Every structure is written in structure tokens, then in C-alpha cells.
A = this chain, B = another copy of it.
Amino acid sequence: MSTRPNGNSAPDLFQGLSAEELREVERVTSTRAFRRGAVIYTPGETGEALFLLREGAVQIYRLSPEGRKLVIAHLLPFSFFGEMSCIGQGMYDTFAEVTEDSTIITMNCEVLNRLLIQRPEVARRILESFGRRILEAERQLEDTVFKGIPARVAALLLRESTGDAVDGLTHQDIAERLGVYRETATNALNELKAADLITIGRKHITILDRERLRRAAEQ
């Protein structure tokens, strides 16, 4: 986990800033590389830090009192997260964990506020990032309330598939994304397999019939 000043590969977020402004941004932010599995923050570390995922992937999750894990958000590049009380966002009792080697920019409220004022496009991009997160959370909420586990697993596979393959996800990972037991996820996967919708291998699932899987995801 190294720390270095921002290079000249500033993310799209800062596209359009003048050289002067970029220098300013570099001065007041830091860019760090995190390895897969690194935990960026846990409840209690209530710094005022504000993070911008430049590349990689980050999971925001919570733990139940009994230790069950629920992933409430998957962030893709150019997502904002962290304590943003300055813009009405807090991290509360959440954990943030890097799920793929990532590059993350850290800044504080003051810096963000300056950016928001100087660069309307920045606000635009944050707004988009927030919008995605709202959509995702509300969709997950709806699925949780209305659908059964097999349908939710099917939907997750469709979302996470690259081509017709879903790689690198263990049953445990799937369970955590849905907030259910690993055994329950395995059962649901086996149901889908029994219906010839998918094949299951170690950390590797293949979608056999995308269309029918989509229908299964409907409930």
C-alpha cells in the first residue's frame, strides 16, 4: 500500500481543470494503491476522509450483530465514498474493502467544496455516481423484499457476468452480496443448475441460457 502524489493520469473527474488547478488538486489530495482485500475503513475510524475510486473496485458492507455480512454497495471507478457529511453522506457503521487492486484518491471536504464551486463538471460526475448508488440500493431493496433467493442469485449472475462467464465469485461471495447464508446460495445455484440455466465449477459459473435465466430472475 504505497502513497504517492497524483501523477499526470488524473481521472476523468478532473478533466478540464487548468494546469494550475490540477497542481492545486495534487497538492491537497493523495493517491494510494490498495491491494485486493485491503480494508479502507471500518466503523469507528470516523475521519473526515473522502475517497474517490480511480480504478479497481470497492465494496461497502455492514455486519450484523452475529457477524453476517451484507454488501450494500459495489463501487466502480469514479465513485465517491467515505465520510462526506459535507455533502450529506456518512459512512456510519459501514466497512469499505478493496475487492480488486485499486487506486484511490483521498481528499477532505474543503477540497471537494472548492472543486464543486470551481468545476461544475465535478458536481455532475459525483451526482452520477450517487445516482447509480441510489439505483443499486433501491433495486437491491426491492429484490430482497419481493423475490426469492434463486431469482436474486440469477439476477446477480446476469449483472456480474462477463460474456457468459462469472469468474472469481465463490458461493460465499454471492451469499454476502445477497445477505444470505452460503448454504442458501449453494442451494439456489444448484436449482439453477438443475434447470439447465447454468453450470457450476469452482469459482466459475457459466450461463447456459441467458434468456431463461433472465426469466428466472423475474421471480
Contact = CB atoms under 8 A, between A and B. Distances in A.
A210 to B, nearest CB: 21
A65 interface: yes
Given A144-B141, A144-B145, A128 B87 contact: yes
A142 interface: yes
A29 interface: no
Interface stretch (A115-123, A158-166, A189-197): A115-123
Interface of chain A, helix or strand or loop or mixed?
helix
Contacts of A38: none
Interface of A: 62, 64-65, 68, 70, 72-73, 84, 87-90, 92, 94, 116-117, 120, 123-124, 126-135, 137-142, 144-146, 179, 218-219
B129 A88 contact: yes
Contacts of A126: 127
Contacts of A137: 134, 137-138, 141
Contact of A141 (B88, B141, B218): B141
A74 to B, nearest CB: 12
Contact of A88 (B92, B132, B146, B179): B132
